[in-house]
Structure 1
Amino acid sequence: MHTHSAAPSGAFVACSGLGFAWPDGTRVLEDFELTVGPGRTGLIGLNGSGKSTLLKLFAGELEPAEGTVRTAGELGYLPQNAALDTHLRVDAALGIAETRAALHAIENGDAGEAAFTAVGDDWDVEERARATLDALGLHAIDLDRTIGEVSGGESVLLRLAALLLRRPDVLLLDEPTNNLDLAARRRLYAAVEGWSGVLVVVSHDRELLDRVDRIADLRGGEIHWYGGNYTAYEHALAVEQEAAERLMRVAEADVARQKRELADAHVKLARRARYADKMYAQKREPKIIMNGRKAAAEVSAGKHRAMHTEKLKEARQRLGEAAEAVRDDDEIRVDLPHTEVPPGRGVLTLRALRTRYGARADIELRGPERVALTGRNGSGKTTLLRTLAGGIPPEEGTAEIHVPHRLLPQRLDVLDDGLTVAGNVARFAPDATNNQVRARLARFLFKGARADQPAGTLSGGERFRAALAALLLADPAPQLLMLDEPTNNLDMASVRQLVTALDAYRGALIVVSHDLAFLREIGITRWLALDGELADTAPM
């Protein structure tokens, strides 16, 4: 059930006893509680933990199975990967078409009451719209033109502009930087920093999450709150993890001690029983006294054993609780010696290359360079990668790769959805035995039955891991790996796993990405910018 109230000074969004399941019965949230007040909140969690579902429930796009959702104030919602109708005029997309039409009618002498009602107090709507578009870098977009073919990034910024113009009290953003280039990301960061109401942003973009006031970590169906930005959250988590691991070591030692004490108790009781039997056999005392002593000893032994067994049970329970508190953020651990490229070895030569959309390149890569390929949206980075990989022929010039290579595209369509994870890896390494494939896959966290999952049933993070495994374990091993926006749609744990996998990779890398934190983490050695022409640029 949804309830809304008028925009108070204390705007908030809240849910109580919230439950939600997908039509196939998959439970996402159960008896879930959350209240978010003024300030900027970063909502994080593993893929599939329910972050986007929660925003949709708050926005009224999904109905809860149980519980209530309440909003105080007007709510604005920017969904993930939302497309705009290209036939709309820009002012209609911004939600100001009627107000503008009424303003123009009044300017032209039509002073009808309907026109004044439509304008209300919004006399500066055009100036505000223009200023908002300019602030988001959309200078070239005219309010009177139809949207036409805007890029994915411009589409996101237009939708954000529409929200900012409405001035909602509560703003929900779902992965807003996914399709944005660096310049557009910086404008969005500025908009977030300037936001004064309630903001909830689902994101895996570290730069964005370092601009929030608090982190809400959704795990195990509950929210865990951390004050400060993402960097502060990571620090708090490390301290928490260290304390949890220390507790676990103490609990393990306690279990070992209780096991020893139980074993010692068994030995003592066995000795006592042998002594009693000996006394009985030698008939040193009257039979009635010996029988009484034997019965009392058995009762005492039973209590003693029960006490030690109970202590061991309690120690094991404490160990279970301590182990639960230690987060299981598995790391990919691989060794990829066959991907090594000797320093100075020629990897890639581009001679007077011109791609399908006009990008030009004349450049050479040697040895195990790690190259970041940057440039605004629409500059042709993906086309250049596909040309290098042989998927698109060049319009002019040549692109020569001198080593085995692989491209991991944004769509991850290197996987056959009908095959299992193991089956997909076997396609790329046909000479590897089933045992070899499974042993290698275990390092990519596909252990046992997980390797038998059909690729079509994998979550976003799992799918990425499976595609990466298929390419890195391929035969021959790739000595040049090209990645196109690899961190899009990955949760933070999956990004960490990708970084550890790339740490083990010894070949050359070309990575298209706008995620600066990720690029720094993987140790980029050369920055190339594509703006009509491919050219070396300063590190960002």
Structure 2
Amino acid sequence: MSFSIVVDHVSFAWPDGTTVLDRLDAAFPAGRTGLIGINGSGKSTLLKVVARELAPRSGSVSVSGVVGYLPQNVPLGAGRTVSDLLEISRTRAALHAIERGDVAEEHFTAVGDDWDVEERALAELDRLGLGHLGLDRTVGTLSGGETVMVALAAQLLKRPDVLLLDEPTNNLDLDARHRLYAAVAAWQGVLLVVSHDRALLELVDQIAELRDGAVRMYGGNLSAYEEQVAAEQEAAERSVRTAQGEVRRQQRELVEARIRIDRGLRTGRKAFENKKVPKIVANTLKGKAQVSAGKQRSLHLEKLEEARERLTEAEQGVRDDAEIRIHLPGTEVPAGRTVLTLPLERPRRTDAEPSRGAQGEPPHPSDGELPHRSDGESPHRSDGEPSGVVLEALVVRGPERIALLGPNGSGKTTLLRRIVAHGAQVPLRYLPQRLDLLDDRLSVVDNVRAVAPSASVNDVRAGLARFLFRGERANQAAGTLSGGERFRATLAALLSAEPPPQLLLLDEPTNNLDLASVRQLAQALAAYRGALIVASHDLPFLETLGITRWLRQDREEGLTES
């Protein structure tokens, strides 16, 4: 097999000495590869090394062809234009100068073979659903999702042989995600994408897992990877059970051997004491017995040690993907109890009719267009128009689980903040997109004690252990935590707060979380018994939560329920 990206013995460390990659070897073939791993495993760093954004401390990387790289955080600058983000402003300026009759050689040099750059740029923007953007529009007027998609268009304009994408669906609404999925599915070159987006990872040809400092390849998409890992884990657990049985058998045999040896020594001693054998014979027999006993003990101890080594080796094959297991009875809300009543202002419409696409066609499906409601019915009429009812007030009763959808910039975050400012009939807590609720100077324990002052240190530590902060890990300063650890610590503080929150607001909680952390979040929320409102574009995650109501925030219609 030929490889398009080869990583040879690469090591990388940050200036403070923190090692991220240590003599890493990896080879990525042609096609689409999804790179997965826990937060902090080095995925983004590896992509930056391949893209030549970072220089390795040792080792080398070889890449076949031109590389396009979309970082997780796109460099902005409110005064920059779409043309600047597409990296074509210099070429466009030269083209316009030539069109005005300026035939200076420098303009022709700047244009090169890109005489159709504006047409290609507009076509690429249109393909990604950004046809409404002008090339001279400033970045400051774009939504976060539009900025990411323009940055993707910039990479596609380069016609790269190898495309590197780092969490490209973060901050994208469903409409933009679907367009990105389509671009990935149509990609004919080499693609290496870091993502936790399940729908995106279902489109790849192979999965590369960065785990424990090594990369392992699995053929097929995410579902195929999970099936292979499940089969491996079943086999590994069988090996552990077999090895445990062998250790127990060797321990029994060692005990039985010691009993036999001790019995023989006692018999010989009694024979001498009863004058049944001469002293010289007794001493000879005793010496032989002791030698034999020593050999027997050594043999059984050696077998026991070998069995323990096989057990250790078998245990190393079992993944220690710890799970969050908590019990939160204090968050329970009785069915039917009203926990929130928030009056809503319906936006003023500027058009007499609903907006439609070209040639009068219904708009492209976007957030809120779900395949099925929880009751099995489609949330839309057969003609494609939303069938949602416009709400004049948001009323939440009992332990409802509400999904809040809507395109980027539609006001989902604003609505959640309004709820916080307005207040509820029960204690509420809000998890913003930025995990800035913790004091970086305080330990994890002290951060939780700050919101649960009456809880004892032992109770706080016991609670944190259920969020996988055990022993000294609970004493870490919040500022030293990895992304996944910080999220778990923030979640622990939210759910441990006094009084227990009976209304929980989450704003894009899965952004920047690895697959393990997303699973841990779902586990924690499964134990939550209060009312829940989650603003998210991550439909697979929402489907794990047992959503009971689907709401959509729209710039023109306001808040609707399907």
* Deviation by residue 1:308-339 (Cα, 9 ceiling, x = unmatched): 00010011111111111111111111111111
Q: Secondary structure at the match of 1:401?
A: coil
**What is the rounded CA distance, in whole Å, between the counterparts of 2:344 and 2:539 in structure 1?**
29
Alignment of 1:291-370 (within 5 A): 291-353=283-345, 362-370=393-401
Asked whether 1:228 is paired with 2:252, we answer no
Which residues in structure 2 correspond to 1:135-284 (within 5 Å)? 135-284=127-276
Separation in 2, partners of 1:269, 1:448: 44
List runs of 5+ in structure 2 lacking aligned partners. 351-389
Q: Give the Cα separation in 2 of the matches to 1:421 and 1:448.
A: 11
Instruction: Report the more deviating stretch, 81-90 or 454-463.
Output: 81-90
- For residues 60-105 of structure 1, give each alpha carbon's deviation from its aligned partner in whole angstroms, at most 9, with x where no partner exists: 1211111111112111111111222333332232123344344445
- 1:425 and 1:412 map into 2 onto residues whose CA distance is 14
Question: Does 1:535 pair with 2:559?
Answer: yes
> For 1:412, what is the secondary structure of its paired residue?
coil
- The equivalent of 1:379 in structure 2 is 410
Q: When the two structures are aligned, how many residues end up with a matched partner?
A: 520
CA distance in 2, matches of 1:497, 1:38: 33
Matching residue within 516, 523, 537 for 1:493? 516
| AA aligned opposite 1:490 | L
Give distance in 1, aligned partners of 2:133 and 2:473: 49
CA deviation after TM superposition for structure 1 residue 117, in Å: 5.0
Distance 1:222 1:467, change over 3 A: same
User: How far did 1:289 drift?
Assistant: 4.9
Pairwise CA distance, 1:305: 0.9
How far apart are the structure 2 equivalents of 1:181 and 1:372? 14
Shift of 1:444: 1.4
Q: Report the counterpart of residue 435 of structure 1 in structure 2.
A: 458
Indicate conservation of the 8 Å contact 2:198/2:540, yes or no.
yes
The 1-side partners of 2:257 and 2:548 are apart by 64
Q: 1:118 to 1:58 in 2, by over 3 A?
A: same
CA distance in 2, matches of 1:515, 1:354: 26
Give, in whole Å, the separation in 1 of the partners of 2:445 and 2:139.
45
> For residues 141 and 112 of structure 2, what CA distance do their matches in structure 1 show?
33
Pick one of 474, 487, 491 that aligns with 1:468.
491
Is the CA contact 2:405–2:550 (under 8 Å) kept in the aligned structure 1? Answer: yes
The separation in 2 between residues aligned to 1:400 and 1:22, in whole angstroms, is 44
For normalisation by structure 2, the TM-score amounts to 0.88
Separation in structure 1 between the aligned mates of residue 235 and residue 498 of structure 2, nearest angstrom:
43
Amino acid at match of 1:304: Q
**One-letter code of the match for 1:176?**
P
1:484-520 CA-partner distances (Å, limit 9, x unpaired): 1111111111111100110000111000111111000
How far does residue 184 in structure 1 lie from its aligned partner after superposition? 0.9
| Counterpart residue type for residue 376 of structure 1 | P
Q: Can you list the C-alpha shifts for 1:367-407, whole angstroms capped at 9, x where unaligned?
A: 111111111111111111111101xxxxxxxx552111111
Look up the equivalent residue of 1:82 and give its one-letter code.
V
Q: Which of 504, 514, 521 does residue 481 from structure 1 map onto?
A: 504
For 1:97 and 1:352, the matched residues in 2 are separated by 44
Q: Distance in 2 between matches of 1:363 and 1:291?
A: 94
**What is the CA distance between 1:298 and its match in structure 2?**
2.4
Deviates more, 1:507-516 or 1:400-409: 400-409
The answer on whether the counterparts of 2:340 and 2:397 sit within 8 Å (CA) in structure 1 is yes
Q: Unaligned stretches of 5+ in structure 1?
A: 1-8, 391-398
Contact 1:16 1:33 survives alignment (8 Å): yes
Q: Describe the superposition over 1:149-195 as per-residue Cα deviations: whole angstroms up to 9, x where unpaired.
A: 32221111111101001011111111111111111111111111111
Distance, in Å, in 1 between the alignment partners of 2:539 and 2:304 is 50
SS of the aligned residue for 2:54 comes to: coil
**How far does residue 276 in structure 1 lie from its aligned partner after superposition?**
2.2
Mapped to 2, the partners of 1:431 and 1:145 lie a distance apart of: 54
Q: Look up the SS of the partner of 1:60 in the other structure.
A: coil
Report the counterpart of residue 3 of structure 1 in structure 2: none
2-side partners of 1:433 and 1:86: how far apart?
48
What is the identity, as a one-letter code, of the residue corresponding to 1:201?
V
- Aligned residue number for residue 433 of structure 2: 410
Greater mean alpha carbon deviation, residues 483-492 or residues 399-408: 399-408
Letter in structure 1 aligned against 2:191: L
Query: How far apart are the structure 2 equivalents of 1:530 and 1:235?
Result: 37
Aligned counterparts of 2:344 and 2:92: Cα–Cα separation in 1? 50
Contact 1:351 1:362 (8 Å CA) reproduced = yes
Contact 1:412 1:467 in 2 (8 A): yes
In 1, the alpha carbon distance for the partners of 2:517 and 2:81 equals 39
Map 1:44-193 → 2, pairs under 5 A: 44-104=36-96, 107=99, 118-193=110-185
Match status 1:526 vs 2:536? no
Q: Which moved more, 1:122-131 or 1:463-472?
A: 122-131
Does the Cα contact within 8 Å between 2:391 and 2:561 map onto a contact in 1?
Answer: no
Q: Cα RMSD (Å) of the superposition?
A: 2.3
Deviation, 1:534, is 3.6
The question of whether the paired residues in 2 share the 8 Å contact of 1:83 and 1:155 is answered with: no
Q: Distance in 2 between matches of 1:527 and 1:16?
A: 49
Distance 1:325 1:264 in 2: 32
CA distance in 2, matches of 1:404, 1:146: 42
Q: How far is 1:352 from its partner?
A: 3.6
By how many angstroms is 1:106 displaced?
5.3
Contact 1:46 1:493 in 2 (8 A): yes
Residue 120 (structure 1) shift: 4.3
